[in-house]
Structure 1
Amino acid sequence: MSCVQEAIDNSPAPAHMTVDGAFGPQTYSGVKAFQQWWNQSGYTPHLSVDGVVGPQTGDQMLGYVGAGCYLYVPSTD
């Protein structure tokens, strides 16, 4: 979970995370903020704003973390 938190914290999304490795309310809100930011920025694909890190959201988050996170963030690859 720390990779998801790092991605949110490193992205331009309006959310800042405490990287603690736990998926709690702060991470859930951060994922939703990332998804909303992504959609409002006009990027594709359009992400569901549901707070879930599935393959589509994970694909977009991978651009904001180091290569060590590729094994831990869901993606379509």
Structure 2
Amino acid sequence: MTQRVLTRLGRVKPTTAFLGVGVLVFVALVLPGPVGALLLLALAAGAGWLLAQTWPLHPPRARVMRLAVLALVVLLAVAKLT
């Protein structure tokens, strides 16, 4: 199943993926408290899963940047909960 999901994600245009994630983050930040935080955590979980699946394909600098963005999303979710 993992390979099938990665294949489908590989077909998505980068602009579409960027805009879709941007809309999800915006909606999660606008939604009140726990609802927005849960959406951000779900987004972080999906991004973390994708990062784990593609880890060997990225150079070390890209890995650090992706981990930093992932940590930022998790921190936003935690801040939204408090």
TM over 0.5: no
More helix by share: 2
What TM-score, normalized to structure 2? 0.34
What TM-score, normalized to structure 1? 0.35
